[in-house]
């Protein structure tokens, strides 16, 4: 395997924190550079650079300094935060992506990873087993920026031959890193509150079904996509990517098997609207066929593992 130097933009975030660990294990500690617009809360060791993705000169400086061969561009505002500041979200999510794509072409970066989301779908997309190619009418600024981003990724692949790969992440559930500003975040908070207080007030209605995935699967799948032979990939926008789907009531019932006294209440807020515009479940057949994607964690396995790990934080 040729030597790779990998830059993660947004390595303090929910996905970035875990990718940094896994990529360092796979590619060598010193070959993976973490970066974010602020210092991590806890030192992560190894190479770390402060980068605002809107500052193209700074990005170029770091990419040249390390002779970066791969970039994982994760810096973005998620659905709920983006809705509070739509113009700032559009600027960060789109201009940040352009800066990365343009520098990748100029500096001949070998591969780029950019995360898309189930938020690219909308109320007129099929709700269940939403296919890879279908009606896409996102209603959140986050979803609009992800759909536009997908189109630009495809465009840079076609026009410049840039090897860009992308996944439409469902809600991600993790114990090492906290989510921030998303609609699916309830599925992480619920574990910490169940263990600390025995109760949780959910900001979605009890029957709001959404596609979800355990972080271990998401990280493994992401790296597998990045390592797949280019000629196996049939899409350069975003692959549908799925593992499980459930409602808050179903998740609470599974948690109650371990914490019988756990009580969930519901107080839906504006995030309900965003969730209702998204699919309930996803058909990821093409990812499974193209690069062999296969999830390992279903909902019961995820709950067991989350509770075992989250107990250490209480
Ligand atoms: C969010 O809730 O905004 C994200 C997503 C589904 O992309 N987790």
Choice among 142, 156, 186, 200 that is catalytic: 142
**How far apart are the CA of 155 and the centre of ligand 1, in A?**
24
In this prediction, residue 212 carries a pLDDT of 98
Task: Provide the residue ranges of all domains of the chain, joining segments of one domain with +.
Answer: 6-170+215-240, 172-211+243-281+296-313
**For the chain, how are helix, strand and coil distributed in percent, rounded to 5?**
45, 15, 40
Contact 243/212 with Cβ under 8 angstroms? yes
**pTM for this model (two decimals):** 0.97
pLDDT tens per residue across span 28-56: 999 999 999 999 988 889 999 999 999 99
pLDDT of residue 299: 98
- pLDDT for 314 equals 63
Beta strands per DSSP E along 79-188: 111-117, 164-169, 171-173
| Mutation test residue for ligand 1: of 142, 167, 222, 241, the one with most atoms within 8 Å of CB | 142
Question: How many secondary structure helices (H) and strands (E) does the chain include?
Answer: 12, 12
What local confidence, expressed as pLDDT, does residue 38 receive?
95
Q: What is the pLDDT of residue 308?
A: 96
Nearest CA to ligand 1 atom 4: 182
Cβ < 6 A, ligand 1 pocket: 78-79, 117-119, 142, 169, 171, 182-184
Alpha-carbon distances, residue 19 vs 174, 222, 245 (angstroms): 12, 9, 23
pLDDT at residue number 180: 86
Q: What is the pLDDT of residue 1?
A: 55
Q: 119: CA distance to ligand 1 center in Å? A: 7
Nearest to 39 by CA among 15, 16, 12: 12
Position in ligand 1 atom list of the atom nearest CA 118:
6
Report which protein residue has its CA nearest ligand 1's atom 7. 117
The alpha carbon of 267 and the centre of ligand 1 are apart by a number of angstroms equal to: 19
Residue among 117, 202, 208 to mutate when testing ligand 1 (max atoms within 8 A of CB): 117
pLDDT tens digits, the chain, 314 residues: what are they? 568 999 999 999 999 999 999 999 999 999 999 999 999 988 889 999 999 999 999 999 999 999 999 999 999 999 999 999 999 999 999 999 999 999 999 999 999 999 999 999 999 999 999 999 999 999 999 999 999 999 999 999 999 999 999 999 999 999 998 888 999 999 999 999 999 999 999 999 999 999 999 999 999 999 999 999 999 999 999 999 999 999 999 999 999 999 999 999 999 999 999 999 999 999 999 999 999 999 999 999 999 999 999 988 76
| DSSP-derived secondary structure letter, 136 | -
CATH of the domain spanning 172-211+243-281+296-313, picked from 2.20.28, 3.90.25, 3.40.50, 3.30.2020:
3.90.25
Q: How far is CA 142 from CA 128, 223, 295, in A?
A: 21, 24, 26
Nearest-atom number in ligand 1 for the CA of 78 is: 3
**What is the model's pLDDT at position 43?**
84
Q: What is the CATH number of domain 6-170+215-240?
A: 3.40.50.720
Please tell me the distance between residue 23's alpha carbon and the centre of ligand 1 in angstroms.
23
The reply to whether 6-170+215-240 and 172-211+243-281+296-313 are identical in fold is no
Task: Compute the C-alpha angle 109/18/86, nearest 5°.
Answer: 75
For residue 156, indicate whether it is catalytic: no
């Amino acid at each position: 395997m040729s030597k790779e130097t990998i830059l993660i933009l947004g390595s303090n975030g929910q996905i970035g924190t875990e990718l940094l660990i896994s990529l360092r294990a796979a590619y060598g500690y010193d070959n993976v550079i973490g970066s974010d617009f602020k210092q991590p809360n806890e030192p992560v060791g190894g190479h770390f650079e402060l980068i605002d993705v809107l500052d193209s000169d700074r990005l170029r400086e770091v990419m040249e300094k390390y002779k970066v061969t791969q970039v994982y561009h994760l810096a973005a505002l998620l659905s709920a935060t983006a809705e509070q500041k739509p113009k700032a979200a559009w600027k960060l999510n789109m201009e940040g992506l352009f800066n990365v794509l343009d520098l990748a072409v100029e500096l001949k970066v070998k591969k780029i990873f950019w995360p898309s989301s189930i938020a690219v779908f909308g109320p007129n997309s099929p709700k269940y087993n939403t296919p890879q190619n279908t009606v896409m009418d996102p209603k959140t600024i986050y979803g609009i920026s992800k759909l536009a981003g997908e189109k630009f990724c495809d465009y840079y692949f076609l026009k410049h031959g840039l090897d860009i790969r992308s996944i439409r992440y469902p809600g991600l559930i993790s114990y090492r890193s906290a989510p921030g500003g998303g609609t699916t975040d309830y599925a992480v908070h619920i574990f910490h509150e169940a263990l600390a207080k025995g109760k949780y007030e959910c900001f979605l209605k009890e029957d709001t079904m959404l596609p979800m995935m355990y972080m271990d699967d998401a990280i493994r799948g992401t790296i597998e996509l990045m390592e797949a032979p280019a000629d196996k990939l049939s899409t350069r926008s975003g692959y549908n990517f799925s593992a499980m789907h459930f409602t808050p009531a179903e998740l609470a019932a599974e948690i109650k098997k371990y914490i019988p006294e756990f009580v969930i209440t519901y107080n839906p807020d504006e995030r309900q609207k965003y969730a209702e515009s998204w699919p309930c479940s996803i058909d990821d057949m093409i990812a499974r066929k193209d690069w062999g994607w296969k999830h390992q964690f279903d909902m019961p396995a995820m709950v067991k593992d989350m509770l075992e790990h989250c107990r250490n934080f209480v």
